[in-house]
Structure 1
Amino acid sequence: MTRLEFLKSMGFTGSALMALLTSCVHEEDTVVNALSLSGTTTTTPSTTTTGTSNSTVTSGTTTNGTDLISIKNRLLTIDLTSSAASALKTVGGYITQNGIVVAQSTAGVYVAATQTCSHEPKKAIMFNKTEYYCTQHGARFDLTGKGKNSFGSKGITVYKTATDGKTLVVYS
């Protein structure tokens, strides 16, 4: 159901309807065809994405020299070989866990951000191709957390990631 259909079903008509439809829209806002989630917390889009890496794989430690064991301020530790992390095996795939969205943005490059939108504090952030997207109001954020439209103007928190190829650590 679109916002127009919803407002009409609530009895809004004429100028009241137009006022409601235009009250939250800004010229720079665009519509993103978001992925449909049917009751799961993971999805795998079929398009390739781009992004930046916090670290990538070299035997046992990350390319920035970080030993995964030495990472403090861990927020998540994900076993990339588990079936629960299967969406992360595909570029563009993502999972949500403990209020964090984790995605593989390009081959071997993982990004992570809070699932809570800064526009309104709802856990509605998902990964959508090359950006984070709020399914509630259309707030858009780049992979660094910077807002891409007026709804996302406050930005979101992004986290560091490190992997050795088998384990992915999300930390602050």
Structure 2
Amino acid sequence: MTRYDFLKSLGFTGAALMAALTSCVHDDDSVVNALTISPTDSGTITQPTTSTTSSGTTTQPTSSTTGSSTDLSTITNRLLTINLSTATALKTVGGYIAQSGIVVAQVSAGTYVAVTQTCSHEPQKAIIFNKTVFYCTKHGARFDLTGKGLNSFGSRGLTVYKVATDGTTLIVYS
């Protein structure tokens, strides 16, 4: 069901229907196809089409992995521990997982970024990763890899967490 059909089914007509249809749309917003997770295999993802930021450039993340010599036992304030051998979605660039209120994505070969899953536009757990940006599936807020908002809905930004890996385990911490 489209948004138009939904609003019509609620009884919106005429000017009220047009006002409701245009109330959440801004010129700098764009449509981003969301990743689809297969219901039979939560590790299988279907990649969407590529999108770019409004400036046409991709920002490098401030939070990335460190080399295989990282001693993970020294990390305090752990928020999430992920076994990379079982996290199949994180084995490919562009893949992501959402777990314990955190979205972790592999943004380039061996580089991971972790952000809060709760959107700053409206506090709903709707953040996903879409190849180059984090995206809210509820209202279209977009965020770069540093958590900076890329459109009006994302203007408040996202919390970005620190990540470290030894190649087999990934730790998200604050």
Q: TM-score range by the shorter chain?
A: 0.7 to 0.9
Structure 2: 5+ residue runs without aligned partners?
Answer: 52-57
**Is this contact kept in 1: 2:97–2:104, CA < 8 A?**
yes
Which of 65, 68, 76 aligns to 1:55? It is 65
CA 7–42 in structure 1, closer or farther in 2 if over 3 Å, else same: farther
**Equivalent residue, structure 1, for 2:55:** none
Which string of whole-angstrom CA distances, capped at 9 and with x for unpartnered residues, describes residues 16-60 of structure 1? Answer: 0111111121111111122234557655354789743523323x3
Give the superposed CA RMSD: 2.1
For 1:168 and 1:43, locate their aligned partners in 2 and report how far apart those are by CA, in whole Å.
19
Residues 116-131 of structure 1 aligned to structure 2 (within 5 Å): 116-131=118-133
Which string of whole-angstrom CA distances, capped at 9 and with x for unpartnered residues, describes residues 102-132 of structure 1? Answer: 1111100011000001111110101111111
Size of the aligned set, in residue pairs, is 164
Residues 27-66 of structure 1 aligned to structure 2 (within 5 Å): 27-37=27-37, 39=39, 44-46=45-47, 51-52=60-61, 54-58=64-68, 60-61=69-70
CA 38–44 in structure 1, closer or farther in 2 if over 3 Å, else same: closer
2:20 aligned with 1:6: no
Per the normalisation by structure 2, the TM-score is 0.85
Which of 66, 69, 76 aligns to 1:72? It is 76
For 2:5 and 2:36, locate their aligned partners in 1 and report how far apart those are by CA, in whole Å.
19
SS in 1 for 2:106: strand
Structure 1: 5+ residue runs without aligned partners?
Answer: 62-66
Per the normalisation by structure 1, the TM-score is 0.86
For 2:158 and 2:42, locate their aligned partners in 1 and report how far apart those are by CA, in whole Å.
20
